[in-house]
Structure 1
Amino acid sequence: FANPDLPILGADVEYSVVQNSQIYGNLTSLGPGQYEFELNSTAFIYHGRYDLQITADKLNYMQKSVTIALKINPINTLINNKISIVQPESIKVGTSKIFYFNYTTATTPALGLSNCSTAFYEWQRLDDDGNVIESNQSDLIELGNGKYELDFDTEIKPIGSYTLVVSLGQINYIERKAIISLEIVPRDINLILPSDLFTNNIIEIISGNYLNFTISLTEPLNNDAPLTNATVWISFQGINHTFNENGNGTYSISIEEAANIQTMLLTESINSRIFITKTNYTFSSDGELITINVVPITMLGLP
């Protein structure tokens, strides 16, 4: 505070915030023409932009004011120790997957932020072309000390592509988001050929005999438990033949037409493919390739 170049002593210098009449006070004189004050950001209810007005006055002097643009920033935060999360995730249909998030200050040590005013997730289900066919939102489950749980009930969701957007925020703290690209995919099927009949997917039968064998189906995701109620067929010389289910994860086939393949001198090899379908399960679209070697009978009646 000067006149205009000479320091002015004993002036009354005050500060106030235009947007909040509760924030005001006096400046302390440091010496000729110099005044100071300390403004704590905790005095502000919300972060944002404010006008800080400083007014200097003294008897027989013209009053002067200056306005300073003041910005109160929100407190920096992290979600799972990052400023944002973009996470691809793939799980098998019928299985459970729970997601967890830590919402903390970016300070050291970090402070977990509980009772957030914003703690929810939005989700969309997409078709093969990326169009939204289903959407909704739900609250996150607070576990305490800044920890939050997202239970999407994946075990009952159908196969498909999902996008989940998580929002965590608190007043005067930076809001953070996480994006999860979730793929719920079919479960795998394991096909086991009988080792006493097959070697490297090759089976031999004597010319004139039926083609008979039994396979086993298991589910790797379920500790190779027997897989029942599947539809199994084999393509043999252009004709599909369906396996009969035995009820314990095994399936049997008997192809009479194989007896029509007569060979006298040379072994005849026939390639066939086994196909399997079951809702919520996947098997190679090319099927399982097997080779049937039809062995001729010698003049002595032996193969």
Structure 2
Amino acid sequence: MSERLIAIDWGTSNFRAFLVDRASGECLDSHRSDAGLRALSSEEFPHYCLAQVGAWREDGRVPVYLSGMVGSARGWCEAPQLDVPASAADLAAGLMAAPGLSNAWIVPGLKIVRDDHVDVMRGEEVQAFGAMALREATSGLCCLPGTHSKWVHLEGERLTDFTTVMTGELFHAVRFHTLPGEPSRERAAFDEAGFRQGLQAATHPDGPLHALFEARSRHLYAGLSAEAIGGFISGVLIGNEVLSQRKRWRDTSVTLIGSTSLNSLYRMALEWAGGSVIEISSDDATLSGLCALANRHGER
């Protein structure tokens, strides 16, 4: 077994690769690019991957572990998603050989198919297991902000349930393609006061569909500036997300996994809603999770 491994998080819009010491989990080198799934055809994936990490491979002796949308039907090769509940050992057992590149493995991802809930996940399951390992915990609630935010519940070393929330995508649609968001389109700066107004509006008894329209009416008659509208819309959406998920899970502590400016917004919203936050970077969570899967894979 090689003393090193290559961990890759490959999503729709970006590629992140890390050369990792297997024993310590230390990142020895890294490489990032904007070559997400949309930038490549299916035939190009093995060639692109090798071009990015070939110098680390030692003639193929160093294994490659890939997570994220790279394992979807739109990616390199579809790795069938496993049903929850599932453990890290289950993910390791479901690793799929990546066609066209030796000693390369794709993580399968997870799915929920029930009468009351149908959902899918690729990549966040690795980060959730990795974050719990870094915390030396076996149970907890994780929030992974993004275009499609994930809320992940783990119990007894198994991922038992999760929910996807389209907050990021809806924010972009409302801000750039609706009347309430129109005054904010040319204003990129974030306004914290507007965000906090949006959090309060998220509690409106008429729900988020009315609260979002208040970006328009408050701009006209209640002093909400054009510069604050983007923050207000974000506050309504993130506030509604946090309130609904806190009500569902009732966990007082949330592990927030990410490395973008979204983390600070979710921290504000979670603390506003009465929760406490433990932050772990998405890079650290990914490395921890893929190292754990690789070690389990090597034991098989």
Question: How does the TM-score come out when normalised to structure 2?
Answer: 0.22
TM-score (norm 1): 0.22
